[in-house]
Amino acid sequence: MIDYAILQQGVAERERVREERLGLGLLTLSAILPSLSGSDCQTNDIMSCSQPLFQVILFFLALYLVAFAQGAYRPCILAFGADQFDGEDPEECKAKISFFNWLRFGVYMGSLVAISTISYIQDNLNWALGFGIPCIAMVVALVIFLLGTTTYRFSIPHNEKGPIARIIKVFVAAFRNWRRTPSTIATEVEIPHRQKSEQYKFLDKALIASYNLNEDGRVCSVAEVEEAKAVVRLVPILMTCLIYGIFYAQPGTFFIKQGATIERTIVSGFKIPAASLQGFISIAILTFIPIYDRVFVPLARAFTRKPSGITTLQRIGAGLFMSVFTMIMAALVEIKRLKTAEEYNLVDKPSVTIPMSVWWLVPQYILFGITDVLTMVGLQEFFYAQVPTEIRSIGLSLFLNIFGIGSFLSSFLISVIENTTGGSGQDSWFSNNLNRAHLDYFYWLLAGLSAIGFAAYFHFARFYIYIKRGNI
């Protein structure tokens, strides 16, 4: 069967694409306003000089609207897309195994185009055009999405109670009966192919009959308890991957700051914008995904006899392990950058370009891209398949929370380090003069935290019991 609430997911995806289109339209408008109002700001940076209050409000409203749309439609599009494959058809099951790989491929193909062109347009032409092009692209995407409406697979939920309500009911019943012995657990017929898990037995108390036989929902079914256990089983994996969320925030922040200080001229007269360095991540992903899907998986399948070659937890673990080496590489390159600045007496000249080629940064970007293919796609598959069928989009929302929470944790960690290492005339690890900062210390710290996160993940992954559902 197709995912519960897939109809709602399709509608939600359409609405969120519209909201993102509106947000990008407002961003474009906020960038156009200076020229319309005759602003005397002589810069392309729309936030670098004083702007009318209305324009500032419009700008941040647009940003939050885009963020809201992203958070709403991204889990829906993942679940909705995977649910288009028929789990009963052998050929479609094989295709479903590769779905998340090629979805990621498409996302980063678009990302590479955006990074390589939009960043250049924003830096060298104007921000209005830089925001306007993505807005037009989203309009085209919405039209294409709507054209396929008649071909999508939909289903209607068979259970009157929603999945969230059922899971809450299990926790409430288990809490209500927490002092009682399980001797009165109701005997129920289990659904086909479902075995009662021996993990998290405290939730089994939700099966104990209530003293008040007239009370609504006096006994939860075995299937409902197993649904709740499936969600609880995700928590240790979710928590141990939060450090990866911190790691994931770095290419868009400090990696760019590193790149902005060194020589980025590729050919005479053309300098790569610092933000465009993230394009190396996209290139690595676009290169590695076909290798993984068409070479590694068939080879691994021959040895393991698993349809996906290796399990999703093994794939995630490999990515987490590589994240440690990515941060080690970043630390070593930063040490090289600091030494080069010192050798050329540029420590106190932060505005002068350090004579160090941008190619030094490429290895850490490539390692990050390979890590992304392993961990990100693995997490998507895992949180899609290892939740009750009816709440797959919620499972994928939990997956996305890893990176939202990780970004907050990264900011918190940076604030703590800034307050601890700075002050009293001392340069902090994140000094505005990057030549006196110590990003290398921060990267070593992240390497250590990533190693701890991997060890914790490995411990919990060893005892994880999969929900067997198709080939995913």
Same domain assignment for residues 225 and 325: no
Q: Does residue 284 have a pLDDT over 60?
A: yes
Tokens standing for residue 28: 């474009």
pLDDT in tens, 50-61: 556 766 777 777
Query: What is the per-residue pLDDT for 372?
Result: 93
Q: Are 242 and 321 in contact (CB under 8 A)?
A: no
Q: Does residue 258 have a pLDDT over 50?
A: yes
pLDDT in tens, 338-369: 999 999 999 888 888 899 998 999 999 999 99
Same domain assignment for residues 127 and 248: no
Q: Check the CA dihedral 390-393-394-395 and report its sign.
A: positive
Q: Are 234 and 387 in contact (CB under 8 A)?
A: yes
Query: What is the per-residue pLDDT for 24?
Result: 59
Tokens standing for residue 463: 């005892």
What is residue 352's three-state secondary structure?
coil
Residue with the bigger pLDDT between 109 and 288: it is 288
For the chain, what is the domain count? 3
Tokens standing for residue 432: 């505005």
The residue among 132, 158, 184 that closes a domain is 158
Same domain assignment for residues 373 and 253: yes
Same domain assignment for residues 222 and 263: no
Indicate the residue type of 275.
A
Same domain assignment for residues 277 and 335: yes
Query: What is the per-residue pLDDT for 222?
Result: 81
CATH classification at residue 425:
1.20.1250.20
Same domain assignment for residues 349 and 448: yes
438 in a structural domain: yes
Q: Does residue 37 have a pLDDT over 60?
A: no
Query: What is the per-residue pLDDT for 1?
Result: 36
Same domain assignment for residues 279 and 410: yes
Q: Angle, to 10 degrees, between the axis of helix 362-385 and the axis of helix 53-82? A: 60
The residue among 137, 158, 179 that closes a domain is 158
Same domain assignment for residues 273 and 125: no
Would you tell me how many other CB atoms lie within 10 Å of the CB of residue 444?
A: 18
Say how far apart CA 71 and CA 90 lie, in whole Å: 33
Query: What is the per-residue pLDDT for 158?
Result: 57
Same domain assignment for residues 126 and 212: no
Rounded to an integer, what is the distance from CA 266 to the centroid of its chain? 31
Q: Are 311 and 100 in contact (CB under 8 A)?
A: no
107 in a structural domain: yes
Query: What is the per-residue pLDDT for 141?
Result: 84
Query: What is the per-residue pLDDT for 159?
Result: 58
235 in a structural domain: no
Same domain assignment for residues 220 and 339: no
Same domain assignment for residues 469 and 373: yes
Say how far apart CA 276 and CA 362 lie, in whole Å: 12
Residues 6+ apart with CB under 8 A from 439: 254, 257, 258, 334, 429, 430
Mean pLDDT of the chain: 79
Same domain assignment for residues 205 and 284: no
Runs of H (alpha helix) within 261-311: 279-291, 297-304
The residue among 112, 143, 158 that closes a domain is 158
236 in a structural domain: no
Tokens standing for residue 218: 């006096």
Range among 189-193, 269-273, 298-302 rated most confident: 298-302
What is residue 258's three-state secondary structure?
helix
Residue with the bigger pLDDT between 220 and 189: it is 220
Residue with tokens 């899971």: 167
Domain extent for 370? 241-472
Task: Determine what percent of the chain is predicted with pLDDT higher than 90.
Answer: 30
Say how far apart CA 116 and CA 354 lie, in whole Å: 23
Would you tell me how many other CB atoms lie within 10 Å of the CB of residue 399?
A: 24
Say how far apart CA 3 and CA 469 lie, in whole Å: 12
Say how far apart CA 213 and CA 402 lie, in whole Å: 42
